[in-house]
Amino acid sequence: MMIETIGAMTMSVPSDREIVLTRDFEAPRSLVFEMFVKPEHLRRWWGLRGSTLTVCDVDLRPGGAWRYVTRGASGHENPFKGIYKEITPPERLVYTLVYDVEGAREHPGLVTDVFTEKAGVTTLVENMLFPSKEARDGLLQSDMKRGAAETFDRLAELLAAMTVART
């Protein structure tokens, strides 16, 4: 099994159809979970540095759809969408993930986010399961590693600022 550390995030590839991302956040689990499901928070951290989340639609219920569109500094847009399958606050979130561009739509992933807390530190384990090795490898060959690490760094920075503001 390949394991790689990218900044504060660990990425592993436990099978030919999976990618697992793990990251610790210095914040309570309930707050970290909230960051993943509330548009007012998502807009502040989701995506690469220098990008903005121009569309952030969340219908938070099993069977409800979500859709995000990021716009980079160059103006290039990246659309993502999916359907929520399971919502168990503050411990588990399961949803489909589709990079909504020609060629990628046919390969939706199933993402399971598990949030655990110990001594005020929340560990996120994000398991992405793909329909095929080719679909998984396509994501691995993209800039996904840097993108995920940078996005989680932005979340950690926002959580730190929010924690300071609450004290």
pLDDT digits (tens, 9 = 90+) for 103-135: 666 668 999 999 999 999 999 999 999 999 998
**Residue 88: helix, strand or coil by DSSP?**
strand
Q: Structural domain boundaries of the chain?
A: 2-134+141-166
Q: Which residue has the tokens 């949030």?
A: 115
* 2-134+141-166 is classed CATH 3.30.465.10: no
- The tokens describing 137, both together, are 């490898």
β-strand partners of 128: 19, 111
The pLDDT value given to residue 107: 67
Please state, in angstroms and as integers, the Cα–Cα distance from residue 13 to each residue in 88, 96, 98, following that order: 25, 19, 19
Could you tell me the pTM of the whole model? 0.93
Please state, in angstroms and as integers, the Cα–Cα distance from residue 84 to each residue in 61, 89, 138, following that order: 6, 13, 23
Residue segments in the chain with a per-residue pLDDT below the cut of 50: none
Adjacency order of strands within the sheet including 2-6: 2-6, 9-13, 18-25, 121-129, 109-118, 92-99, 77-88, 65-71, 52-58
Average pLDDT of the chain is: 93
